Amino acid sequence: MSRTVVRTMTGALALTAAAAVTPLASPASAVADSIVIGGQPAHVKDSPWVVALSSRDRFGDARAGQFCGAVAVGPKKVLTAAHCLSSEALGADVGQMRDLRIISGRDELNGSGGKEIAVSEAWVNPGFDATTNSGDVAVLTLAEALPGRSVIPMAEAGDAGYRAGTAAVVYGWGDTTGVGDYASSLRSAKVSVLPDSSCEQAYPGGRNGTYDASAMLCAGEPQGGYDACQGDSGGPLVAHGRLVGLVSWGSGCGQAGSPGVYTRISAAIEWMADAG
């Protein structure tokens, strides 16, 4: 299942509906399940590159319209998951969105600090496969630049952050329990980068999804308990101070034997380069 907040209706009712959504059974549904399970409070002053993706028109005001996570990799460039910008997730084509924006510099979604910056352009990886979630990356161009320190470097191929056993941290405003208890304040969870074999065994194909090591990264804990969940999709997985993954999909949240699957940033770098 993908890890976004589901949009089933517009306006103030949208978030109420999203909060009632249970985790999806398959990664083919690109709409709904990721906040940090087993985590702790986090602060944007320590991780200023973590941003929220928002649309009040589509998701209401209750949580400032937040429906996915995202991460700043350049002053005006933000990465998120491609499935976050699907018509299934948004209820409309992303090109028709007039209030799509990122929320930066704010722990509390409805707090008074930070900035809300409009998205002026969205590029969705044309190689994204909504059935498998392979190629799950999109690039947002902001109408206004973020401060320089609000940017995190991307880990290229061969980076030590991709090695199995590496300590990593995932960030988000998503579901903290797996049953629709959405956070209003930023949280993080410590996880481990797991061997590709862990996700290949958990997701060999069929309704639970197919893991592709060339495009995806496996992370979590073998015993479960720490994971992303609904609402965290597109948010960052960070190791050694560099971005190694984007929250993409998984089966359940924090369950033993069902690690989280992330978009592999080294692969995303290549997809973005190919697009020019």
| pLDDT, tens only, 88-104 | 999 989 988 889 999 99
- Which tokens hold the place of 63? 């949580």
CA–CA dist 273, 219 (Å, integer):
25
Angstrom CA distances, 115 to 52, 108, 149, 196, stand at: 11, 12, 15, 38
Is 136 assigned a catalytic role?
yes
For residue 113, the 8-state DSSP code is S
- pTM, rounded to two decimals: 0.85
- To which H or E segment does residue 51 belong? strand 50-54
Mean local confidence (pLDDT), 64-85: 96
Which among 34, 83, 198, 266 is annotated as catalytic?
83
Catalytic residue among 233, 251, 258, 266: 233
Kindly report, residue by residue over 203-243, the tens digit of the pLDDT. 998 877 899 999 999 999 887 656 577 678 999 999 999 99
Q: Respond yes or no: is residue 232 known to be catalytic.
A: no
The verdict on whether 83 is a catalytic residue reads yes
Residue 116: the pLDDT is 96
Q: From the candidates 136, 212, 227, 232, which is the catalytic residue? A: 136
Residue 34 scores a pLDDT above 70: no
Task: Give tens-digit pLDDT for 104-130.
Answer: 999 999 888 899 999 999 999 999 998
Q: Flag whether pLDDT at 6 surpasses 60.
A: no
Pairing label, strands 216-220, 236-239? unpaired
